[in-house]
Structure 1
């Protein structure tokens, strides 16, 4: 089986790595202060690489699961980065959320260095990552996609081939815009309801029986009803990043994005008020704000 190198063992990356190892792939993990604890992965057979060059020397496939475009570019392009030691034929799979125009430049650089590239951003949460039930949206050459499919299936439940390189990241940003947009609208409505002293259980019941029903309501329901934010562990920092990326993509395409800009501003204001909060906590932050812009 191909040796898989992984860069970025955060909450999502840890779940991916766990399932890759569970399916028998030799796994090498880049040591980094931002990683989740690696003990369980090492016990499952994974090894650790102290540098990107050490990882590149043994990996047939490198999975990137880092925060966003600046981090992906840093991993690839810095002086001790992946491109400088990429072995011919190495496949780079970017599971991060990134700006598509950057993804296309990175893919071209990987190919020029003798490697292959697909973008495979994910949706769902750390819970599904741990269970091997992520959704993946893949951009790249169809033949390469099919070659990578057995590996992708080791940690994903639903896998969609989106088209050429960058298509995965475009669709991921579209998906997250809709998801985060719905979340912001619901949070603002719930905050207004709180000020109006509307019973939160009644609010949720009315929404669930009407036009507000859906995944986002179920994710925010525990916080609206009882202040429990554990059901949606997505930070305001990541929400603001994704909305900024969407805004950038829409601007580059010349697409309308006035609504997206307003939603981005909502997340920016909430992030400024509490940088460590998660999306469900947007309800409380908006309820405490005298004037929402």
Structure 2
């Protein structure tokens, strides 16, 4: 199939916290979009109002599209979307492309039916997804990258071509290892600080604007300091999942990963105690609790809840 960027028909599956913002930008910037709806009708109705079309099955999305984006939680979901009854494989045409924005790859299986696979995992939050300024780490051969880049540019402000298919996912795991490692360190440091009489605001007054400050620190701290639960909307469940993938990648590479395992264990405890909708900055509250200190923030004079 020979197409130009302007003629590509786009499919989208996964209208979650990140996916709706991505899909919105694709259709707003001129691409015909067919998407798979979900029980939460608000994102679907928004996209329909912008001119997108809704499909009943993943197969129908594939049949209507040249490039299909998947933005779901992890490997089981992606495998079901591609392989399951009414799945993408039943509707994909030879020459189509599947772009996976999560953290899993099925390139070899799709190659057998003449379909290319691109991994383009994301970084940042739903706020940047809506604004079209996400970071994307893309794994694809050069020619395939050139084909999908114009579409990715509709929702990403920073696109890095990491290497061949699979390299984007590997880089995403490394990126999340660093950010989630920061989260585990910040959480333990805040708990220790509180235990020895240094409050979160006093702790922050030293770190903020110093050499140890960074954008991730600032969004992470907005929960503990301000009670802003939406500052960094990446769930603890997804963080734990990515750290288990990192552990598997390290094992396959034959490298010791003690800091990755320690970070994973910090999130494992928070994930096990729930609730499911906890976001990454709330790790500090959990680490505080298991160490006998109260890091639950207040907002407008009232203690928050998770």
TM-score, reference length from structure 1? 0.93
Distance 1:205 1:291 in 2: 23
Give secondary structure in 1 for the equivalent of 2:290.
coil
Tell me the CA shift for residue 31 of structure 1: 2.1
In terms of mean alpha carbon deviation, does 36-45 or 124-133 score higher? 36-45
Question: Which of 17, 27, 34 is matched with 2:23 structurally?
Answer: 17
The question of whether the paired residues in 2 share the 8 Å contact of 1:8 and 1:35 is answered with no
1:67 aligns with 2:73: yes
The question of whether the paired residues in 1 share the 8 Å contact of 2:138 and 2:161 is answered with yes
Indicate the residue corresponding to 1:222 in structure 2: 222
> 1:188–1:47: structure 2 CA closer, same or farther, 3 Å change rule?
same
In terms of mean alpha carbon deviation, does 195-204 or 232-241 score higher? 195-204
Indicate the residue corresponding to 2:303 in structure 1: none
Question: Which of 39, 43, 46 is matched with 1:40 structurally?
Answer: 46
Indicate the residue corresponding to 1:266 in structure 2: 266
How many residues get paired?
Answer: 286
CA offset digits 1:173-200 (Å, max 9, x no partner): 0000000001110011112212222122
Indicate the residue corresponding to 1:93 in structure 2: 99
Indicate the residue corresponding to 1:8 in structure 2: 14
Distance 1:97 1:67 in 2: 8
TM-score, reference length from structure 2? 0.89
Distance 2:252 2:39 in 1: 34
Distance 2:254 2:41 in 1: 38
In terms of mean alpha carbon deviation, does 212-221 or 123-132 score higher? 212-221
The question of whether the paired residues in 2 share the 8 Å contact of 1:89 and 1:116 is answered with yes
Distance 2:136 2:53 in 1: 26
In terms of mean alpha carbon deviation, does 28-37 or 136-145 score higher? 28-37
1:281 aligns with 2:287: no
Distance 1:199 1:248 in 2: 37
Tell me the CA shift for residue 223 of structure 1: 2.3
Give secondary structure in 2 for the equivalent of 1:193.
helix
CA offset digits 1:257-286 (Å, max 9, x no partner): 111111111101011122331111111111
CA RMSD of aligned residues (A): 1.7
Distance 1:226 1:133 in 2: 25
Tell me the CA shift for residue 53 of structure 1: 1.6
Give secondary structure in 2 for the equivalent of 1:37.
helix
Tell me the CA shift for residue 6 of structure 1: 0.4
The question of whether the paired residues in 2 share the 8 Å contact of 1:137 and 1:159 is answered with yes
Tell me the CA shift for residue 97 of structure 1: 2.1
Indicate the residue corresponding to 1:252 in structure 2: 252
Give secondary structure in 1 for the equivalent of 2:18.
helix
Give secondary structure in 2 for the equivalent of 1:288.
helix
Give secondary structure in 2 for the equivalent of 1:38.
helix
Give secondary structure in 1 for the equivalent of 2:281.
helix
Tell me the CA shift for residue 36 of structure 1: 5.5
Indicate the residue corresponding to 1:148 in structure 2: 148
Unaligned runs of 5+ in 2: 1-6, 294-306
